[in-house]
Structure 1
Amino acid sequence: MDEAIFLAGYDPRDYPAVAVTVDVVALTIRDGRLCVLLVERGEQPFAGHRALPGGFVREETLGEAALRELAEETGLTPGQEKTELERVHLEQLQTYGNPGRDPRMRVVSVAYLAFAPSLPEPTAGSDAARAYWVPVEEAKDLAFDHDEILADGLERARAKLEYTPLATAFTGPEFTIGELRQVYAAVWGEELHAGNFHRKVLSVPGFVESTGETTAKGGERGGPRAKLYRAGDARLLHPALLRPTREDRVR
């Protein structure tokens, strides 16, 4: 230590210790409902409380740490991990560093937002007793400041569906307009008028493109077979698909 201090020109013990963690707001749609991945903490602090998946950053990048935590809590094996996680949309959400947010020490957390059309039934990682998918409206009273992080993640997700094609991250490679509408309805928490939504989606250049194929069975109401689409090449939606106004809502 003395030699290292001499070479560095300062004593690191003179500076306060700060730890860095990642927390992940992982969202998917299950049975038509927007769900978030939660864990039940198996260790102090907040043992027995529900929380977002997360942990301390190791010798890795922040993004690698977020993917590692997501893989651990979703029970992905090394063989599955690469294939499954390639389908996950991951983006940095925000940094949280208020004093006292973690009773152990000063901890700064970098939160990530993750979307996936489907992930395995979760399996608790090393510091969690349980892990499970929970409808977002039931995810309350979380440990640390995770209620705030979740609220910020939900608002980011809902806003991004307005001006980006992110909704296609919740679908399979091919989908119907009805299936895409169900994604918007689940994330926004609003039922949408089928006809209005269909017209709006097809009016946005590059949002979706037809595969030229149709579903094997009839559409939502047993009518003609529905057309299949895939994600287009647009990175931003113009015009944007704004969240529902009164005339957009199902009467």
Structure 2
Amino acid sequence: MTRTGALTRYHLELLLRSHAWLPPFLAYALLLVVGVPVGDPLLGGLGYGAGVLLPVSAWYVRGALNAEPPASRACLVAAAGPVRVQLGALLAALTVSLVLAAGQVAAVWWAGGAVAGPGAPRQPSAGAAVLAGLVASVACALLGVLAGALADRPVLGRPQYGIPTALTLAVLLLVVPVSPANTAVRELVSAARTGRIAVPWASLLAAAVLLAAVGAGTAALAGRRPE
């Protein structure tokens, strides 16, 4: 665990120094500014922000995996092993995505108006809305990292297709009705209309289990391929 933590910090530094963090951040900020006008219902804005975070998180995985030059990565793999290197990159992308999730919830809370829409039969508390929005955003961040990890498999030898593949998988995870991300976002949008908030704990748990399984699987497969 100590070595994995050190590799995570190393990949975070690489991500920041390479400026690979900047394009997804700017895209996310722009989409939030366009999609969440000041004064809009808080729950609707939180649902939108959580949904957009999913492809952005997948993008960060691609940035973390590709931030290191091939020769340097080969040396790192030889020293620490491909499994730990892969997990370190995934955890680095997840860390950045979770920071974005917290920042997004805070920004939407600051800019939002009433908690629910004007037609809602009741207005829930802002605290309950923020908790539901944060849980949904974390679930979407987890699934975004999952999409980025999955995109590492079909595009071996074709790094130029990594980001489009990751974004496509992320959008699918967002729109497929059985996806935990789709469920979490739908619950927030529904709460904006009804005023009844259900914190999407089940979606968060499902996303965590899926990411743990897929992350471990892709890391194990990384150990079987030549770097």
Q: Answer whether TM exceeds 0.5 for this pair.
A: no
Tell which has more relative contact order, 1 or 2 (C-alpha 8 A, sep 6+): 2
Query: Which structure shows the bigger proportion of residues in helix conformation?
Result: 2
Query: Which structure shows the bigger proportion of residues in strand conformation?
Result: 1
| TM-score normalised according to structure 2 size | 0.30
